[in-house]
Amino acid sequence: MLSLLSLSSCFRSILPPIEHPAGVHHLLTIPDIPMTLRVAIEQPTASVGHQFLLGILPVTRVYSPHIEREISTYLAIEAATRRYKLIHEASGAVQPFPHLLVTVSELQISGYDLVVLRRPVASVKLTALLDMLDRSPRRCEITANSSRITQFAFSTELNQVLQEALASGVHELFDCLLL
């Protein structure tokens, strides 16, 4: 048992970029209403969770180095379904478009070994501030969670629950912003 405790969190699991269907690139070219976007990550995302042995002993640290790009992609997909084309904000440039600032204030991606089955879990907290130029700014905060029971809880399964949390969180965020 002591040897397991000494190994606690010594191993690393780096989540690969999320693979999106080929049609996503085409979807992003369709919208005609421009909107600038800036994504901010509040907490350091070096380590976003753990893989737990027997549900309690952290054995592996989970890293998600591509999280800003992943969130930006999900924001762009949701915006495109609502006719908005997101343009990443150029520093110092003032654009005559609506502006969306999305802050990730919490991100947790973990896997729990439950002896026979595994439980990958993802949670993300998004805060958005929408400046529509001719209207008062709108602010929304959404927390989205996803989990499932699977045979494994490796990077593929962790990415699946992350995708579900991001997709539902971004969808709820746009609904809240009345876009």
**CATH number of the domain that residue 99 is part of:** 3.30.160
Whether 31 is covered by a domain: the verdict is: yes
Whether 39 is covered by a domain: the verdict is: yes
Give the residue with greater pLDDT, 169 vs 22: 169
Query: Does 21 score more than 50 pLDDT?
Result: yes
pLDDT digits (tens, 9 = 90+) for 162-179: 999 999 999 999 999 998
pLDDT for res 141: 97
pLDDT for res 46: 63
Whether 147 is covered by a domain: the verdict is: yes
Q: Which pairing describes strands 117-131 and 138-147: parallel, antiparallel, or unpaired?
A: antiparallel
Name 57's Cβ contacts closer than 8 Å, sequence gap at least 6.
4, 5, 8
pLDDT for res 102: 95
Whether 9 is covered by a domain: the verdict is: no
Specify the number of domains making up the chain.
Answer: 1
pLDDT digits (tens, 9 = 90+) for 58-107: 888 888 888 889 999 999 999 999 999 988 776 555 667 889 999 998 99
Q: Which pairing describes strands 84-88 and 117-131: parallel, antiparallel, or unpaired?
A: unpaired
Q: DSSP letters of 46-62? A: S--EEEEETTTEEEEEE
Min mean pLDDT across 4-8, 80-84, 141-145 is at 4-8
pLDDT for res 143: 97
Residue 105 belongs to what H/E stretch?
Answer: strand 99-114
Whether 90 is covered by a domain: the verdict is: yes
Residues 114-123, mean pLDDT to the nearest whole number: 89
Whether 156 is covered by a domain: the verdict is: yes
Q: DSSP letters of the chain? A: -HHHHHHTT-EEEEPPPPP--THHHHHHHS--EEEEEEEEE-S--S--EEEEETTTEEEEEEE-TTHHHHHHHHHHHHHHHTTEEEEEPPTT---SS-EEEEEEEEEEEEEEEETTEEEEEEEEEEEEEEE-SSS--EEEEEEEEEE--BS--SHHHHHHHHHHHHHHHHHHHHHHTT-
Nearest one of 28, 65, 24 to 44, comparing CA atoms: 65
pLDDT for res 91: 53
Whether 8 is covered by a domain: the verdict is: no
pLDDT for res 44: 62
Whether 16 is covered by a domain: the verdict is: no
Q: Would you give the distance in Å from CA 169 to the centre of its chain? A: 8
Domain that holds residue 162: 21-176
pLDDT for res 3: 47
pTM, two decimals, is: 0.85
Percent of the chain with pLDDT over 90: 44
* Residue 123 pLDDT level (bands cut at 50, 70, 90): very high
